[in-house]
Chains A and B, each alone.
Chain A
Amino acid sequence: MPPIRDVAVIAFGQTDHRRTSDELSEVEMLMPVLHEVLDSTGLRTSDIDFTCSGSSDYLAGRAFSFTMALDGVGAWPPISESHVEMDGAWALYEAWTKLLTGEADTALVYAYGKSSPGSVRDVLTRQLDPYYVAPLWPDSVALAALQARALIDAGDTDEPALAGVAARSRASAAANSHAQLRSPVGQGDYLVRPLRTGDCPPVGDGAAAVILAAGERARELCGRPAWIRGIDHRIEAHSLGVRDLTDSPSTRLAAERAGAFERPVDTAELHAPFTSQEVVLRKALRLGDDVDVNPSGGALAANPVMVAGLVRIGEAAARIHRGASDRALAHATSGPCLQQNLVAVLEGDPR
């Protein structure tokens, strides 16, 4: 069933993602980005019909951490607003559904995350089954290494191929002034076999914001809106023992529902924090060598947790805005070993 209304990404902004941002609160990190997207469209907070954000209390180390960010947004007079305890890509999904109902014509979506104050590898273990798995503290790199090992054993990839993904991503990031790693880094030593440091994302802090608009409003505010032709997300079982780690059926299904397979895409921004995950996603999304994958450098160049998925949608949209892409796919992931995946298909008007 086609969507009731056309909705587009009309503006995108992000911070420079950095290893640490000790001198900044989350709100201070976020505010310049909010101003950037509002300024680029000429909109003011009072012009925004709906606001939705994504973040995590566990990263912030406190309950209700999103309330401080909301104060920064300037919620006065009161605004129509919501929050998902997920990557900002899912906040964008909620905002998209709000626009579909016709209850709003414009939406501001933002996400932020600081990994630097703690050990993000340890923090992410708290996402796991709290009775049987989390008490063992298997960290995010170790779990990704299990997946990488399964792929290598299945003959889907090998270590040199993974090193190639890493090198390509960091080379692409050279053109992205916001990226954290902007030049080739050596593959380094094994962090958790078979993953070397080069196969893993940098740990960093960052924020991003997007503005959505429906129909004619999008055309008024943006020279070349990035129309969301489809967006869908799916979740898989949590336990790694019942999943085939070499495949991503949730990504494939989300892509199908988002219409990704109806026509080829020219660009794909994949949220693959580990080199091995790009292998899984390329297969699930049937991406050929003719598709420009992660021209931004992807999550291997900057992976602010809770933000990196929204950044993928933003990067894909920005390419459409500037005419570098006509039909792009954006992907976001959450949970251990690609448990939950979102796929959006964005298009520019024909030129």
Chain B
Amino acid sequence: MSKEPVAVVGVGQTKHVAARRDVSIAGLVREAALRALTDAELTWADIDAVVIGKAPDFFEGVMMPELYLADALGAVGKPMLRVHTAGSVGGSTALVATQLVAGRVHGTVLTLAFEKQSESNAMWGLSLPIPFQQPLLAGAGGFFAPHVRAYMRRTGAPDTVGSLVAYKDRRNALKNPYAHLHEHDITLEKVQASPMLWDPIRYSETCPSSDGACAMVLTDRAGAARSPRPPAWVHGGAMRSEPTLFAGKDCVSPRAGKDCAADVYRQAGIADPRRDIDAVEMYVPFSWYEPMWLENLGFADEGEGWKLTESGVTELDGDLPVNMSGGVLSTNPIGASGMIRFAEAALQVRGLAGEHQVEGARRALGHAYGGGSQFFAMWLVGAEPPSS
């Protein structure tokens, strides 16, 4: 017996900001969940189960916060599952929720991911000293900068490419009312003049720390038929993991990312991603990851990703728009960032992305990664239901 087709019929986000001091964690997640329910024109009673994700508990200082959040998310009396796969968690959480519908365990599922970074200090949360293990004292940027440098050396990319991505994503964010950074006076020169943090990564080429939540309502074929607005259909989804560090790891283009994308394309019947996919929301916390992931995800041949970026292909009005919402570079509530990618991909194929809508987007990819580039989660959504 084949899987049940799965549709996204509701999407909700909070306005992402540096610190939401006006709401508790419960208030934050409830805001996103209610917006997703409103979009789907459903109530709490229509939800069969809740799947929640976020990055490490140390980021808010609450152990297994889903226990305390059960009431706020209408989960009392229902199944509630908590996913944690590092930075890819927002994507993984959506995929676990998808699985509940695809396996016909539940008809309609609410999935939500959040991070309220202002409750604590993410840098501290990642830097707890553990015996015999190297602490990540330089933060994520310190970990990823050498990989960016390796990419530049390997491909011969000029050192201007990173700033082009940042300039594009920050301009896209101006069209997205939920984006954290709205830099109305942004110029390419300002990006290039910003301080160097972890060479070659500049201040304006890094993501902010955000408070925020993202929610989606997923449902089966019958639920989609009742949807008041166009659904987004899940055509493929996959997760892949590889070890953090080992001699054979390609930190520039991890095999787990390639395998994950290949699995999704196989499920979705994508032969040529560059031609068959209309828009991409990819996880780019440091600007250089756009050209790197363009290659890893099969949109460009090895060594050619930066050329797509440089030629304007990934601009909002380009041939393959990337991070129409402004991306992680403009909004980064860590645990929610992956789900925002998935949700924004869904908004595009539903035609509901507002000012950052890609005209006629029929198939869109949502991408998330985490850890030391070792966890990947992706889905491909389409405007039409899957044929098989």
- Chain A positions within 8 Å of B, measured between CB atoms, are 1, 3-5, 51, 56-58, 61-64, 66-68, 70-71, 74-86, 90, 93-94, 97-98, 100-103, 123-124, 126-131, 134, 232-239, 249-250, 253, 334-336, 339-340
B209 at the interface (CB under 8 A from A): no
Q: C-beta contact mask, B39-59 vs A, less than 8 Å → 1, else 0? A: 000000000000000011111
How far, in angstroms, from A51 to B256 measured CA to CA in the complex? 14
Q: Which residues of A contact B150 (CB under 8 A)?
A: none
Pick the residue among A51, A71, A101, A130 that contacts B102 (CB under 8 A). A101
Task: Please tell me if the beta carbons of B103 and A235 are within 8 angstroms of each other in the complex.
Answer: no
Q: Could you list some 18 contacts between A and B, CB below 8 A?
A: A4-B103, A58-B63, A63-B58, A70-B244, A75-B374, A80-B238, A80-B239, A98-B103, A103-B3, A124-B63, A128-B67, A130-B25, A233-B79, A233-B81, A235-B79, A239-B71, A250-B77, A334-B64
Q: Which residues of B contact A334 (CB under 8 A)?
A: 64, 67
Task: Please tell me if the beta carbons of A79 and B130 are within 8 angstroms of each other in the complex.
Answer: no
How far, in angstroms, from A131 to B21 measured CA to CA in the complex? 13
How far, in angstroms, from A89 to B96 measured CA to CA in the complex? 15
Pick the residue among A61, A81, A85, A128 that contacts B241 (CB under 8 A). A81
A74 to chain B, nearest CB (A): 8
Task: Please tell me if the beta carbons of B240 and A78 are within 8 angstroms of each other in the complex.
Answer: yes
A-contacting 9-mer, from B84-92, B182-190, B380-388: B84-92
Task: Please tell me if the beta carbons of B242 and A76 are within 8 angstroms of each other in the complex.
Answer: yes
Task: Please tell me if the beta carbons of B241 and A126 are within 8 angstroms of each other in the complex.
Answer: no
Known: A70-B241, A78-B241, A237-B76. A102 touches B81 (CB 8 A): no
Most buried by B among A126, A127, A129, A235: A235
Q: Which residues of B contact A56 (CB under 8 A)?
A: 57, 63-64
B33 at the interface (CB under 8 A from A): no
Q: Which 8 A-B pairs have the closest CB atoms?
A: A100-B103, A63-B56, A78-B256, A85-B84, A81-B241, A126-B63, A58-B63, A78-B242
Known: A83-B83, A86-B64. A236 touches B103 (CB 8 A): no
B226 to chain A, nearest CB (A): 19
Task: Please tell me if the beta carbons of A130 and B68 are within 8 angstroms of each other in the complex.
Answer: yes
Known: A67-B86, A238-B70. A81 touches B79 (CB 8 A): no
Task: Please tell me if the beta carbons of A127 and B64 are within 8 angstroms of each other in the complex.
Answer: yes
Name the CB-closest residue of B to A59. Answer: B63
How far, in angstroms, from A351 to B260 measured CA to CA in the complex? 43
A222 to chain B, nearest CB (A): 22
Total number of residue pairs linking A and B with CB closer than 8 Å: 197
Name the CB-closest residue of B to A124. Answer: B63
How far, in angstroms, from A56 to B67 measured CA to CA in the complex? 14
Name the CB-closest residue of B to A87. Answer: B64
Task: Please tell me if the beta carbons of B70 and A235 are within 8 angstroms of each other in the complex.
Answer: yes
Task: Please tell me if the beta carbons of B256 and A63 are within 8 angstroms of each other in the complex.
Answer: no
Q: Which residues of A contact B61 (CB under 8 A)?
A: 126, 130
Most buried by A among B63, B96, B245: B63
B311 at the interface (CB under 8 A from A): no
Name the CB-closest residue of A to B52. Answer: A85
Known: A61-B128, A71-B243. A234 touches B85 (CB 8 A): no
Q: Which residues of A contact B128 (CB under 8 A)?
A: 61-63
B302 at the interface (CB under 8 A from A): no
Q: Which residues of A contact B2 (CB under 8 A)?
A: 102
Task: Please tell me if the beta carbons of B243 and A86 are within 8 angstroms of each other in the complex.
Answer: no
B78 at the interface (CB under 8 A from A): yes
B62 at the interface (CB under 8 A from A): yes
Known pairs A63-B59, A239-B71 / 15 extra A-B pairs, C-beta < 8 Å? A3-B104, A57-B56, A71-B243, A75-B243, A78-B241, A80-B240, A81-B240, A81-B375, A93-B81, A101-B3, A101-B102, A128-B68, A233-B79, A237-B70, A238-B67
Task: Please tell me if the beta carbons of A97 and B100 are within 8 angstroms of each other in the complex.
Answer: yes
- Chain B positions within 8 Å of A, measured between CB atoms, are 1-3, 24-25, 55-71, 75-86, 92, 96, 99-100, 102-105, 119, 125-126, 128, 130, 133, 238-246, 248, 254-256, 259-260, 371-372, 374-375
A273 to chain B, nearest CB (A): 16
Q: Which residues of B contact A130 (CB under 8 A)?
A: 25, 60-62, 65, 68, 119
Task: Please tell me if the beta carbons of B371 and A64 are within 8 angstroms of each other in the complex.
Answer: yes
How far, in angstroms, from A100 to B103 measured CA to CA in the complex? 5
Task: Please tell me if the beta carbons of A98 and B99 are within 8 angstroms of each other in the complex.
Answer: yes
Name the CB-closest residue of B to A238. Answer: B68
Q: Which residues of B contact A77 (CB under 8 A)?
A: 242, 255, 259
Task: Please tell me if the beta carbons of A94 and B242 are within 8 angstroms of each other in the complex.
Answer: no
Task: Please tell me if the beta carbons of A234 and B3 are within 8 angstroms of each other in the complex.
Answer: no
How far, in angstroms, from A334 to B63 measured CA to CA in the complex? 12
Q: Which residues of B contact A74 (CB under 8 A)?
A: 243
Q: Which residues of A contact B1 (CB under 8 A)?
A: 4-5, 102
How far, in angstroms, from A64 to B87 measured CA to CA in the complex? 10
Q: Which residues of B contact A3 (CB under 8 A)?
A: 103-104
Task: Please tell me if the beta carbons of B63 and A63 are within 8 angstroms of each other in the complex.
Answer: no
Known: A82-B85, A339-B67. A57 touches B58 (CB 8 A): yes
Task: Please tell me if the beta carbons of A84 and B83 are within 8 angstroms of each other in the complex.
Answer: yes
Q: Which residues of A contact B241 (CB under 8 A)?
A: 51, 70, 75, 78-81
Task: Please tell me if the beta carbons of B105 and A235 are within 8 angstroms of each other in the complex.
Answer: no
How far, in angstroms, from A123 to B57 measured CA to CA in the complex? 12
Q: Which residues of B contact A100 (CB under 8 A)?
A: 99, 103-105
Task: Please tell me if the beta carbons of A78 and B255 are within 8 angstroms of each other in the complex.
Answer: yes
Task: Please tell me if the beta carbons of A66 and B240 are within 8 angstroms of each other in the complex.
Answer: no
A2 to chain B, nearest CB (A): 9
B271 to chain A, nearest CB (A): 21
Pick the residue among A83, A97, A238 that contacts B103 (CB under 8 A). A97
B167 to chain A, nearest CB (A): 32
Name the CB-closest residue of A to B89. Answer: A83
Task: Please tell me if the beta carbons of A134 and B242 are within 8 angstroms of each other in the complex.
Answer: no
How far, in angstroms, from A167 to B287 measured CA to CA in the complex? 62
How far, in angstroms, from A67 to B105 measured CA to CA in the complex? 29
B71 to chain A, nearest CB (A): 5
Name the CB-closest residue of A to B56. Answer: A63
B337 to chain A, nearest CB (A): 15
Task: Please tell me if the beta carbons of A78 and B63 are within 8 angstroms of each other in the complex.
Answer: no
Most buried by B among A83, A85, A103: A85
How far, in angstroms, from A56 to B58 measured CA to CA in the complex? 11
B122 to chain A, nearest CB (A): 9
Name the CB-closest residue of A to B60. Answer: A130
How far, in angstroms, from A84 to B259 measured CA to CA in the complex? 22
Task: Please tell me if the beta carbons of A67 and B82 are within 8 angstroms of each other in the complex.
Answer: no
A234 to chain B, nearest CB (A): 6
How far, in angstroms, from A84 to B92 measured CA to CA in the complex? 10
A111 to chain B, nearest CB (A): 13
Task: Please tell me if the beta carbons of B56 and A235 are within 8 angstroms of each other in the complex.
Answer: no
How far, in angstroms, from A334 to B104 measured CA to CA in the complex? 25
B137 to chain A, nearest CB (A): 13
